[in-house]
Structure 1
Amino acid sequence: MPEETFVIVGAGLAGAKAAETLREEGFAGRVLLIGEEIERPYERPPLSKGFLLDKEPRDKAHVHEADWYDKHDVELRVGVSVTAIDRAAHEVRLSTKEPIRYGKLLLATGASPRRLEVPGSKLQGIHYLRTMADSAALKQALAHGGRRVVVAGAGWIGLEAAAAARAYGNDVTIIEPEPAPLHAALGPELGRLFADLHHEHGVDVRLDQGVAGFWGAGQVSAVVTSGGAEVPADVVVVGIGVRPNAGLAEKAGLEVSDGILVDQSLRTSDPDVYAAGDVANAYNPLLGRRIRVEHWANALNGGPAAARAMLGHDVVYDRIPYFFSDQYDLGMEMSGVAAPGEYDKVVYRGDVAAREFVAFWLNEGRVVGGMNVNVWDVTGDVQALIRSGRPVDEARLADPAVPLADLVA
């Protein structure tokens, strides 16, 4: 009887950690890990942080050493894509025309940057940041300093790119259509904190306006805002969000809506096909609804969870969304969901003016999100508060003298 083959489509962090987990859990069959990029699997946070700032070498981003895949009998195919899934035949077809039969299939195809479709969008000097190659090109564009950099979008990627551009000594303008940076992720209260942070570091933050177009003769030279202003630009960074790479799943007839729909075990509408990472729109039993999480921790934890589910383990993937960011002298960790409409109050603990505090988003007295800013070793307690689902005493929550662990007990 031929050995069973598990195919993983997408050689990013989620896919690589899934392959690692399959071997750790004792799976002895064939493991095939397929990636479109020519790089072996790597983590994405360094692309807008340490690697972009030239503080970390390229190799530090890789998930495993180069020889790990051979040592663990994982077939890593880079520079290859999957063009189709035949669910009835349990086969995937590769761009090399080769059919591969699978017993279980994991889709960890990630997401792609949303593109600005405006006049001039094809000019040179306009950067998107998703891949190692993107980050290397942007670093080269920023590294000499003295350039006029415009960042379209004040989300996490845009803000981190802006901070990197300033660190290299460039002039930076951020253009954001929402009333505050990170408005969709944090709401206006904490969004203003990041606007002030970038103002203090010499960034021109222009809110309530978008990008209407680009000017230039081959190379971008200016950005035109929705208000009609022309902002000079030698380099543009576009960070307006991502779209899940769910086309392959959709063509195969899997249920898709803002990503690939999966249950609490990361199983799709086909019991032999799973999805993890940015592309998975998963039912989270803790939150009681579906959520698609685009952050590093979701790939780190979701890949192994999917691998265990593929092996028949009883898996309930109910991780609390988690994210971290470093900008200038501000480091933060975010847990939970704090988008507008998800909360009715924000409570602060610590010194907000000094940017050493924890912010809590509450909904009907229960903590639904927490962000620690330049305060460390509290993420576990913050997540325990969210997971408990219990109403909290707001005065005690705001009092640094009361241990957070006491509010959960």
Structure 2
Amino acid sequence: MDATFVIIGGGIAGISCAESIAFLEPSETIILITASPLIKAVTNIVPLGKLITQFDVEEHSMKSLIDMYPSIKVVHDTVTQVNKDSKSISTESGKTITYKKLCICTGARSKLICENNSRVMGIRDTESAEALVNKLKDAKRVAVIGNGGIATEVVHEVRGVEVMWIIKDKHISATFVDPGAAEFFQDRLLKKEPLEKKEPMKRMKYTITSGRSNKGGPALGPDWHDQLKLAGSNALPTSVKIEYESEVIKILNASEVPNNNEEWPMYIELNNGKIIGCDIIVSATGVIPNSNIIGLETLNKGNDDGFTVDWKLETSEKDIYAAGDVCSANWEIAQHWFQMRLWTQAHQMGRYAAKSMVYSFKNEEFMQDFCFELFTHVTKFFGYKVVLLGLYNGQKLNNDYEILLRVTKGHEYVKIILQNGKMQGAVLIGETDLEEMCENLILDQLDLSSYGEDLLNPEIDIEDYFD
């Protein structure tokens, strides 16, 4: 088998890449190699600004992709080796596929705190999410380790079990939000605060003087839990207990726990000396790029083990590209962008890799995509819409910035990052309708000093100033 373009991986990056190549160069052959019988397709794309998009991720059959794009051929197989000299790929079933341009979109796998333990689970793809659903049916207590997006969603969605949330930070959801936003979420987490519209209760401005900014298979995508019932079978009230600034030292069995008054299938020992029993551990402490591909050992990798790519998303080997979680950005990064392994960037990178491969194949010049000028991410935490823009937690600013804050308890949380009077980032929680305005102000770098706190005054329609 041979094709002009070959993509390895049926996740968000891989499918976005294949679809975009088929659109840009429909006359050329495309082969998509995926180990999964289902593919991840981005659907219902809603633009919220120039670069901000909200979308769904759905699982589709391979046939649906082929029906829509006749130039794409899907090979349901596992890659065993890539020979970069002969530009050929070997698969588990014995196929040999040759390419002119190759894009690696193999994603990342969960970083587990303990390997080879059936009660320690990472959630990265549909299969692992469904496995958690089955495990929860007989569970009374679940320990969730980690403080990023997956951990946050699991803690919020799980019902009918006791949840022990182990985090190394001083506040919840630290990967994405600051202590103020974490406090805003806390009421929803504790099931005390309904989502209702209220008038703004407080608006404040302050300057950061210390502290530090935070930062398997195909990723699940937004709203992954909507189709899953994350509930125990026991008629237990849901409760969440949080262990702050804690890390797991080791996993114990019952015989290793002295003075044990409770009997659990497993225990975790924390660095604060506490020992906690549980039925299941959800390990959500990050991901590891799936870059261990035989034949590609000589490709340059970053400290995170991802294949380093230049501004064209090309690896250190000519004609081999990488996109999504498996790659590590290694070009001169724009001021208001940085890499995070999120479905948003997987989609953006997949589409851009397609453009890069097609233009390179045609020997045509092109510019880097504008999406790499501004970090954007739209998601949902604790039932709230969350939009993150630019340096939303003051990343790269060395604590030299001001914050404008507007909070309406149970309704919205708006945080604006300013440096020298210019907007550098924003966190928008709830239905704020400020996405496009903030995006424009970050990109345009207008001096907003004259507006002062009126920038977030709910009595003033500030958007009228910037139309």
Fold equivalence (TM over 0.5): yes
Match of 1:69 among 66, 70, 79: 66
Match of 1:265 among 287, 302, 312: 312
What's the offset of the Cα at 1:401? 4.2
CA distance in 2 between counterparts of 1:279 and 1:377 reads 33
**Corresponding residue for 2:458?**
400
What's the offset of the Cα at 1:335? 2.1
Contact 1:293 1:321 survives alignment (8 Å): no
Match of 1:170 among 147, 161, 168: 161
Q: Does 1:126 align with 2:117?
A: no
Within-5 A mapping of 1:28-47: 28-41=27-40
What's the offset of the Cα at 1:193? 3.7
Match of 2:278 among 233, 242, 255: 233
**Corresponding residue for 1:89?**
86
Deviations 1:93-120 (A, max 9, x none): 2233433211111111111111214xxx
Q: Does 1:211 align with 2:248?
A: yes
Deviations 1:256-292 (A, max 9, x none): 2132222222222333121111222235766259843
Scaled by the length of structure 1, the TM-score of the pair is 0.83
Structure 1 residues 316 and 375, CA gap change in structure 2 (3 angstroms)? same
Within-5 A mapping of 1:311-330: 311-312=358-359, 314-319=366-371, 320-330=374-384
What's the offset of the Cα at 1:378? 2.9
Scaled by the length of structure 2, the TM-score of the pair is 0.73
**Number of residue pairs the alignment of both structures matches:** 387
Q: Does 1:105 align with 2:105?
A: no
**Which region of structure 1 is more displaced relative to structure 2, 315-324 or 15-24?**
315-324
Tell me the secondary structure at the aligned position of residue 129 of structure 2: helix
What's the offset of the Cα at 1:372? 1.3
Contact 2:337 2:375 survives alignment (8 Å): no
**Which region of structure 1 is more displaced relative to structure 2, 351-360 or 185-194?**
185-194
The structure whose RCO (Cα within 8 Å, separation 6+) is larger is: 2
Deviations 1:33-67 (A, max 9, x none): 112334333569xxxxxxxxxxxxxx972156743
Contact 2:184 2:409 survives alignment (8 Å): no
CA distance in 2 between counterparts of 1:42 and 1:217 reads 44
Deviations 1:223-281 (A, max 9, x none): 22121212221222110011222233983422221322222222223331211112222
Q: Does 1:379 align with 2:424?
A: no
Which letter does structure 2 place at the counterpart of 1:102? Y
Structure 1 residues 91 and 324, CA gap change in structure 2 (3 angstroms)? same
% identical equivalent positions? 22
CA distance in 2 between counterparts of 1:114 and 1:250 reads 24
**Which region of structure 1 is more displaced relative to structure 2, 280-289 or 16-25?**
280-289
CA distance in 1 between counterparts of 2:279 and 2:307 reads 38
Pair member with larger Rg: 2
CA distance in 1 between counterparts of 2:143 and 2:317 reads 44
Q: Mind listing any 5+ residue stretches in structure 2 that lack a counterpart?
A: 44-55, 193-238, 256-263
CA distance in 2 between counterparts of 1:356 and 1:164 reads 20
CA distance in 2 between counterparts of 1:89 and 1:65 reads 28
